[in-house]
Structure 1
Amino acid sequence: MTKSTKQWYASWFDTPYYHILYKDRDYTEAQVFMDNLTNYLNIPEGGKILDLACGKGRHSVYLNSLGYNVIGADLSEQSIAHAKQFENDTLQFNVHDMSKPYPDAFDAVFNLFTSFGYFEDENCNLETIKSIKAELNEFGFGVIDFMNVNYVIENLVNEDIKTVEGIDFHQKRSFKNGYIVKDIKFEVDGEHYEFQERVKAFTLEDFKDLFEKAGVYLLDVFGDYKLHPYHSKTSERLIMIFK
């Protein structure tokens, strides 16, 4: 059986295998990032944060533990169904398409861990930034945490096998037609699966162009989760603060 879909993220993110492959993500690093970011932005106690493309909600849950009123939104029904177990009076999760405005206003809107640039229709990337603008209150900040494509392309591992929970994930990576592409193949119980991750290779200059078109203003750029300065060749991340 081969799984495929026009919108790759709509199917891949809804499988349990996506979460198995990436189960070793560094939660401590993610928490340090959230500490640094919320302190830097000086978000008020009890402030409202929208975690856009929240996945299973790991950032949302931690942000809520810091005292913020958080809504996690994601296109994946499976991820949101999982995240709902963590809900409380100040933490909610909803299925939502981030290219459309969420009907509320926030002190901050976070789009974290390269959760941007997936769309087949490239206009949706611009619409997402316009939506973030619409979701911010008068004093709110937007944050996009993206890969630094210059660093990624320079350090691309063309092919490897990652074994998690007894599953051998065969991964091939390439840079094609302006996209970072990862082809993933594996077998489970005799069934063959194939998925592809495909993310637009946006540079800082590309984002500046989108921001200008969306009518938002880039305030700061950082290169890692400790909020060190961004360097186009050596920084692993491209973290942009705008409003």
Structure 2
Amino acid sequence: MDSEIPINSNKWFQNWFDSEHYLKLYHGRDNSEAGKLAKLICKSTGIQSGSSVLDLGCGAGRHAIMFSKLGFKVTGYDLSRHLLLEAKSGAICQETKLSLVRGDIRNLPFKSKFDLVLNIFTSWGYFESDLENLTVLKNAVSLKRDGGFFVLDFLNAEYVKKNLIPSSITEFQGVTYSEERYIRDERVIKSIKFCDGNGEKCFKESVRLFDHDQIIEVFKETGVSNISLFGDYDGSRFEKSNSPRIICLVS
């Protein structure tokens, strides 16, 4: 189903995530990372099979399918019609079930709450307005049941600033993708250029680099009492300077 909300078609995330080339560029992503994160979340929360899970920004369903196969009742929410169709197809191929809803993460249509709410693999920080980005986080936390959990898996801003790779080239199915990365106005921006049978194309990604202190402050404003931090999908302790991720488990 589609949630009844206006969608602005000129946003980078809508244009890029609905392009067939998005999944082609990132074809190397597999289930190993998704499996690690799912295992870490299940171990850290103790959440039981059969519990309800909401995956906000589920994309092509890599993580949602993983949780469904582990026995959870999973709802995936995403703006991209193209990626939701991929998620549906993936669930069918892997003989598991997903409930998929299309809509903008700034406008959550859910009336019931969930045992586990996920916003993972950098599915946050897309909007130009800090207020919009922070409100998304607060609204997501509000959808967890009492005694439930919210998990944010995001870039570690300090690590990104120290280790950003300025450029790279990827080839897949006869197409060469040229990527350039830079930081401007506290956003990490990626420019993606390539040529296919329809000529030269250019897309971009732009993510607001909220740091550790800013993220923790937002969670405190929601009134949550317990926040556990990890620095990678193996469950390593979070270190501001050295951890590639900031994974927040909020209860």
Same fold (TM over 0.5): yes
1:108 maps to a residue whose letter is L
- What CA distance in whole angstroms lies between the structure 1 residues aligned with 2:197 and 2:32? 33
> Where do 4+ consecutive residues of structure 1 move more than 4 Å?
87-90
Q: Which moved more, 1:162-171 or 1:216-225?
A: 216-225
Per the alignment, residue 212 of structure 2 pairs with: 204
Contact 1:98 1:131 in 2 (8 A): no
Change (3 A) 1:214 1:6: farther
| Structure 2 counterpart SS, 1:207 | helix
Per the alignment, residue 136 of structure 2 pairs with: 128
1:75 maps to a residue whose letter is L
Task: Please report how far the alpha carbon of residue 6 of structure 1 lies from its aligned counterpart in structure 2 after TM superposition.
Answer: 3.8
Q: Does 1:92 align with 2:99?
A: yes
1:17-56 to 2 correspondences below 5 Å? 17-56=21-60
Per the alignment, residue 66 of structure 2 pairs with: 62
- What CA distance in whole angstroms lies between the structure 1 residues aligned with 2:133 and 2:144? 17
Per the alignment, residue 6 of structure 2 pairs with: none
- What CA distance in whole angstroms lies between the structure 2 residues aligned with 1:242 and 1:121? 24
Per the alignment, residue 229 of structure 1 pairs with: 237
- What CA distance in whole angstroms lies between the structure 1 residues aligned with 2:176 and 2:247? 32
TM-score by length of 2: 0.90
Contact 1:208 1:218 in 2 (8 A): no
Unmatched 5+ stretches in structure 1: none
Q: Which moved more, 1:22-31 or 1:88-97?
A: 88-97
State percent identity of aligned pairs.
32
Per the alignment, residue 14 of structure 2 pairs with: 10
Q: Does 1:171 align with 2:179?
A: yes
Q: Does 1:145 align with 2:161?
A: no
Provide the aligned C-alpha RMSD in A. Answer: 1.7
- What CA distance in whole angstroms lies between the structure 1 residues aligned with 2:179 and 2:154? 21
TM-score by length of 1: 0.92
Change (3 A) 1:218 1:188: farther
Unmatched 5+ stretches in structure 2: 1-8
